[in-house]
Structure 1
Amino acid sequence: MLCSSSRAIENYNPKLASTFFQNSTQKFPRMLPDYDPNDSEAGMRLLEDLTTNAYQIQKQVLKGILTQNSQTEYLRGYLSGHCDDDDDEVVFKDKVPVVNYEDIKLYIERIANGEPSEIISAQPITELLTSSGTSGGQPKMMPSTAEDLDRKTFFYNMLVPVMNKYVDGLDQGKGMYLLFVKPEISTPSGLMARPVLTSYYKSNNFRNRPFNRFNVYTSPDETILCPDSKQSMYCQLLCGLVQRGEVLRVGAVFSSAFLRAIKFLEDHWKEMCTNIRTCHVSDWITDPSCRKAVLIVLNKPNPELADLIEQECCGKSWEGIIRKLWPRTKYIEVIVTGSMAQYIPTLEFYSGGIPLVSTMYASSECYFGINLKPLCDPADVSYTLLPNMAYFEFLHVEKNNGELSQEVHCNGVVSGQNDMEEIETVDLMSVKLGHYYELVVTTFTGLYRYRVGDILMVTGFHNNAPQFRFVHRRNVVLSIDTDKTNEEDLLKAVTQAKHIIEPLGFLLTEYTSYADTSSIPGHYVLFWELKTKGSNDLPPELTPDIMEQCCSTVEESLDSVYRRCRKKDNSIGPIEIRVVTHGTFDALMDLCVSHGSSVNQYKTPRCIKSEEAIKLLDSKVVGRFFSQKTPFWEPYRIETNK
């Protein structure tokens, strides 16, 4: 099935299109239609118009971006003398290359070091958003502008009518959303570099958000903005418990963060009950803004509520604890796609049958799409890209001439780095049902034909706008929280650890890994098959101290985001190495071959997703070792010009 351009033009609505250029006399047209987030019917009409007119809106978005930024140093180098109003799109695709972060890193670092924004953007760059993806061990930095905050606000507002369509009565209560800020730094230019959600929560757009009941949270802004993650977590959960009778929805951005909050509650509920019973905030909560805000919520001693919470939390099992503590909850809003899908069984255990909802697809580079069927099964979540967010292109992804890769049968991984074959890009309206693509974006903030690194599959269409299922991140093999470890990073880290055992006469003959989320927080597990030179036996000289040193070395060798999650955020547990008996990886190959892999083409998978394969490896384990120290981490530094 091909969503044709002719169909899009047939259904084109000139009246809607004109709204995107209603400010075209301004220097920087916003292309954001006016919309009252309290008017759900108007919101749904706008979504219908956006998706019906996706083709024309995409053309207008590209025209607007090029008109605005054609004189930047970056675009001028490619388009000077070639841009023509009649064939902007053709010239743009012909002259401007598709790029990775390494191709544009220097431009962004120049801005971070004080050079003018006009290098890449006609609008002033007001901050740099740090991506959880890494470059050279450091987070990537994405340019952002003041106007882009309005685009994010528009995007969030579009979620409101969709949820109101499927869930009644959301205006009759509050949301217990656990939201947190992360570390930020000031670059040499004075621009702040920080995660995209930290940027949004600290913005006036968030703090002065227009009143609508969908934006009413149990967490006071002061608790969300608290830089101490432990104090923030405690205060937000305490406020959520006090207001339990008003809570209609709960959630966090990532599934991992929500489950970490449940584990935190498991460890601190008795203390919270004491706070509720006495109307006193624990003395270790030292942030003055948090203390003041929480005391306002506590209001007065409430022993009855404390007793009720204690009764629910004292049970033998915490199965269904969300429904027990917040009985009016209609859904849990967390991301359950991509690497977060591994947390679905644990979420379902705690939820008590409450639906899991993934509402949106976004990144540091751009906000992309909305789930128009939010109550669908987590395995069926698809996102409809909003055509006014950016200009979208797609690189077709081939999988071994249409067949799943051999690793899939054993791994459960959809595709690996070597399975991808790039062809020229197609636009948003030309993608085909059931096909896989890598997303490429051109944004209003200075990214041009940028490969986001996300692999998507087309699952259908809403009007003329395609819908996509998020499959996975390109090259990423391990992820627990916001960390993204690819095969190359893992190899480098394991190689560093090998240097410890090789002088002692030990050889690492094979290894693989998986993300163990059976505990909270989850952690990386490495399976190592070892031998001594001239022998297949595992000698007694391989002491726990040596293996624990190997664990720590692997962690120290992983990137800044992983180390931050381990040390600062406590969202990843200590890495574990499980030593297996000789012949284990031969047995793993036999298992993969029995599931359809070719002996001739078999390669040891560096990440295991198959439960059967993990069970096999675990049955061969002869020793388990954990890192005994947290890795070194400090906020990353911006390279300065010499």
Structure 2
Amino acid sequence: MFLYMEEEWDILVTSIDSGELPDWTGIDHVREYLQPHFPSRPKRAAELRAIGKASQQPGWLAKVWPMLRGVSTIASGVFETAIPKIKHYFGPDVKLFSHGYFCSEAPVGFVYDPSDMNLFKLTSTEFFEFFDVDNEGTASDLIRPWQVNVGKLYEIVVTAHKGLWRYRIGDVIEIAGFDPNDGTPLVRFVERRNLVAWLAGAILTERHVTNAILAVQDTLGSIGEFTTVIDDHSESIGYLVEIQGDLGPKVDEAPERLLVEFFRLNEEFRSAFDSKKMKPPTIRILKTGTFREYRRWKIEMTKTGSGQVKVPVVMRDSAAREWMLRWVERELGYGSISSESINIDEHDGHATGEVAKEF
């Protein structure tokens, strides 16, 4: 909604001033019902013109809605990448809150600490069991809530009270603790259990893909949204990234930092790289508004609602990949690099040393 407001700002303000709905295609059948609720508001239009479409400045929408104090949103997993964008629009004085942890099968958890957007207390209406993530998972391996350990990762299994069916919803959670009042487990969402991809024999999970790119925002710039593509021929992962605001001052260092993050997250990546089975990751910077247009294009292609269009962590649809690559504005990558030329600082995870780069 915010991106559409930004894109259609002039039309929006003009319509508020005149009290006339825009002459947009596809609204003729509802115009007569909407128009009576859309009076002319010249004073409000003047306020908005004075504010302007200052979307590059933090806190733009806090000026549009000065009484706004809080925003409730999904903020765990891959949705975490949108948090910097939301904070940019609203500024530091508007508080962000989590909706809770829900899935289509059953409610999983409610917000436990409003200041922690990824900490939930399991609901008391459903029954939960767990698989250790190191196990394949059969009925005999199920662990009860009172048997889990703090700090361990589990796949969560929910039995909905309305249907008495066990659902493996495919989510991996971490046990963060227990509510001191009743002992109910407190959990954090970690990732989807399903394997994202194999890359040169190394296991690539949603958490690897997400955490690696989030770790390089200080050099790359604030990430609005991203997806990835896997090149099956060269065994490399390529990020397609839309930046919120300006590129970082050391943007050319981002691929090197990204590779270091993969090494840090999983030793299998370093082994695959050293054996020349894996090529270094690349980062393609997309034009502003790419993901907005992608959703619009996908809605038109699939004839579905906007709520059903999700950006995958790894884009496998060849048509979608081809469409997305047309929006590339700049590409960052390597010519040659060896892991011996990278030293990882154990304290901050940063890379040091001479690296041969070709952009």
Q: What is the TM-score when the length of structure 2 is the normalising length?
A: 0.60
Match of 1:105 in 2: none
Contact (CA 8 Å) 1:343, 1:517: kept in 2 or not? no
Unaligned runs of 5+ in 2: 197-205, 211-222, 246-253, 257-283, 285-294, 312-322
Match of 2:155 in 1: 438
C-alpha deviation, 1:314, in angstroms: 4.2
Which is strand-richer, 1 or 2? 2
Contact (CA 8 Å) 2:18, 2:40: kept in 1 or not? yes
Choose the corresponding residue for 2:336, options 576, 583, 595: 583
Contact (CA 8 Å) 2:6, 2:53: kept in 1 or not? no
Which digits, 9 at most, give the CA deviation of each residue in 1:571-624, with x for residues without a partner? 75824594734323x25x754x6256xxxxxxxxxxxxx9968xx99x9453xx
Contact (CA 8 Å) 1:441, 1:447: kept in 2 or not? no
The equivalences for 1:4-23 within 5 A come to none
Distance 2:29 2:164 in 1: 38
C-alpha deviation, 1:446, in angstroms: 6.0
Match of 2:170 in 1: 453
SS at match of 1:263: helix
Amino acid at match of 1:512: I
SS at match of 2:8: helix
Amino acid at match of 1:594: I
Distance 1:427 1:333, change over 3 A: same
Match of 2:87 in 1: 348
Amino acid at match of 1:329: L
Choose the corresponding residue for 1:386, options 114, 119, 123: 123
Distance 1:307 1:449 in 2: 56
**Aligned: 1:516 with 2:252:** no
Distance 1:297 1:441, change over 3 A: same
Contact (CA 8 Å) 2:60, 2:89: kept in 1 or not? yes
Distance 1:392 1:377 in 2: 22
Distance 1:433 1:385, change over 3 A: same
Distance 1:457 1:519, change over 3 A: same
C-alpha deviation, 1:285, in angstroms: 4.9
**Aligned: 1:594 with 2:344:** yes
Distance 2:70 2:178 in 1: 25
Choose the corresponding residue for 1:395, options 131, 140, 155: 131
Distance 1:290 1:579 in 2: 47
Match of 1:574 in 2: 324
Distance 1:321 1:386, change over 3 A: same
C-alpha deviation, 1:426, in angstroms: 1.0
Distance 1:580 1:612 in 2: 18
Distance 1:383 1:325 in 2: 32
Distance 1:289 1:336, change over 3 A: farther
The equivalences for 1:142-181 within 5 A come to none
Distance 1:337 1:445 in 2: 27
Distance 1:481 1:439, change over 3 A: farther
C-alpha deviation, 1:427, in angstroms: 1.6
Which digits, 9 at most, give the CA deviation of each residue in 1:204-257, with x for residues without a partner? xxxxxxxxxxxxxxxxxxxxxxxxxxxxxxxxxxxxxxxxxxxxxxxxxxxxxx
Match of 1:305 in 2: 44
C-alpha deviation, 1:466, in angstroms: 1.1
In percent, how many aligned pairs have the same letter? 24
**Aligned: 1:330 with 2:55:** no
Amino acid at match of 1:349: H
Match of 1:291 in 2: 31
Match of 2:185 in 1: 466
Contact (CA 8 Å) 1:332, 1:356: kept in 2 or not? yes
The equivalences for 1:545-624 within 5 A come to 564=298, 574-575=324-325, 578=331, 580-584=333-337, 586-587=338-339, 591=342, 594=344, 620=357, 622=359
The equivalences for 1:472-491 within 5 A come to 472-474=191-193, 475-476=195-196, 477=206, 491=230
Distance 1:484 1:377, change over 3 A: same
C-alpha deviation, 1:349, in angstroms: 1.5
Distance 2:42 2:49 in 1: 10
Match of 2:107 in 1: 367
Distance 1:580 1:385 in 2: 43
Contact (CA 8 Å) 1:319, 1:349: kept in 2 or not? yes
Which digits, 9 at most, give the CA deviation of each residue in 1:444-473, with x for residues without a partner? 576843321111111122222111111111
Amino acid at match of 1:359: H
Distance 1:566 1:288 in 2: 19
Distance 1:334 1:429, change over 3 A: same
Distance 1:397 1:383, change over 3 A: same
The equivalences for 1:80-119 within 5 A come to none
Contact (CA 8 Å) 1:481, 1:565: kept in 2 or not? no
Match of 1:50 in 2: none
C-alpha deviation, 1:391, in angstroms: 2.6
C-alpha deviation, 1:273, in angstroms: 0.8
Amino acid at match of 1:395: F
C-alpha deviation, 1:279, in angstroms: 0.7
Match of 1:107 in 2: none
Identify the range of structure 1 (334-343 vs 568-577) with the bigger mean alpha-carbon deviation: 568-577
The equivalences for 1:187-266 within 5 A come to 261-266=1-6
Distance 1:338 1:316 in 2: 26
SS at match of 1:472: strand
Which is helix-richer, 1 or 2? 1
Which digits, 9 at most, give the CA deviation of each residue in 1:80-107, with x for residues without a partner? xxxxxxxxxxxxxxxxxxxxxxxxxxxx
Match of 1:193 in 2: none
Distance 1:620 1:470, change over 3 A: same
SS at match of 1:265: helix
Contact (CA 8 Å) 1:393, 1:439: kept in 2 or not? yes
Distance 2:49 2:349 in 1: 36
C-alpha deviation, 1:359, in angstroms: 2.1
Structure with larger Rg: 1
Amino acid at match of 1:356: L
Taking CA–CA contacts closer than 8 Å with sequence separation of 6 or more, which of the two structures ends up with the larger relative contact order? 1
Distance 1:348 1:318, change over 3 A: same
Distance 2:33 2:349 in 1: 46
Choose the corresponding residue for 1:357, options 85, 90, 97: 97
SS at match of 1:324: helix
**Aligned: 1:269 with 2:9:** yes
Distance 1:357 1:432 in 2: 27
Contact (CA 8 Å) 1:565, 1:571: kept in 2 or not? no
